[in-house]
Structure 1
Amino acid sequence: QGDRAEVEAKPPANLIPIKSPMVGTFYRAPAPDADPYVEENSAITVGQTVCIVEAMKLMNEIESEVEGRIARILVENAQPVEYGQTLFLVESDTAA
């Protein structure tokens, strides 16, 4: 757990965080029996749904704002998340 806190506090320059826009419950898939939206090393594009955050019984699809590959998934499925909490780290070739 210690290394996750360090990564979340200061990710490497080529890793871009995808953060939760709300407080809620993190889900990796659209349904309990469905495949996850993404896995580590999945290629993603801008606008692609990467997870759901459920808040007040509403399922909110979270979309990527970056293109790259999922380097790390930092939250376990069905875990509560806070506003601004990093959910994923994306490795981007275009990061400055």
Structure 2
Amino acid sequence: ADPAPAPAPAPKAEEPAVRGVEVKAPIVGTFYRAPSPDAEPFVKEGDTVKKGQVLCIIEAMKLMNEIESEVAGVVRKVLVNNGEPVEYGQVLFIIEPA
């Protein structure tokens, strides 16, 4: 008889190592973690954020677009470095809902 539980682990493989909500880039542009070069980053890993809190800025065609958190929780991962170009749909942060 085949062991029935074998297929069960399959969904786990799709989960990221860090669990949480992925914050994706809504536009193509340049990622900035802080409002200005000498300012503190908007958020750091381990920070608690509120829904609607600004996480970063993406500059596109000289427009500064504030990217807000869609959930309240804890920032588990920052996946992009300051000043890096980002693609549409690229994951920027992982936030563990609280």
Q: TM-score range by the shorter chain?
A: 0.7 to 0.9
Unaligned runs of 5+ in 2: 1-13
Residue aligning to 2:10: none
Q: Where do residues 4-15 of structure 1 align in structure 2 (5 Å cutoff)? A: 10-11=15-16, 14-15=19-20
Contact 1:14/1:92 (CA < 8 Å) preserved in 2? no
Counterpart residue type for residue 26 of structure 2? P
Q: Give the Cα separation in 1 of the matches to 2:58 and 2:18.
A: 26
Residue aligning to 1:6: none
Residue aligning to 1:3: none
Q: CA deviation at 1:71?
A: 0.2
Query: Is 1:57 aligned to 2:62, yes or no?
Result: yes
Residue aligning to 1:32: 37
Deviations 1:18-42 (A, max 9, x none): 0100000000000001000000000
Contact 2:52/2:69 (CA < 8 Å) preserved in 1? yes
Identical pairs, percent? 55
Q: How many residues align?
A: 85
Q: Give the Cα separation in 2 of the matches to 1:78 and 1:72.
A: 17
Contact 2:18/2:76 (CA < 8 Å) preserved in 1? no
TM-score for the superposition, normalised by structure 2: 0.81
Residue aligning to 2:78: 73
Equivalent residue in structure 2 for 1:88, among 79, 93, 98: 93
Q: CA deviation at 1:13?
A: 8.2
SS in 2 for 1:53: strand
Unaligned runs of 5+ in 1: 1-8
Shift >6 Å, 4+ stretches? none
Q: CA deviation at 1:63?
A: 0.4
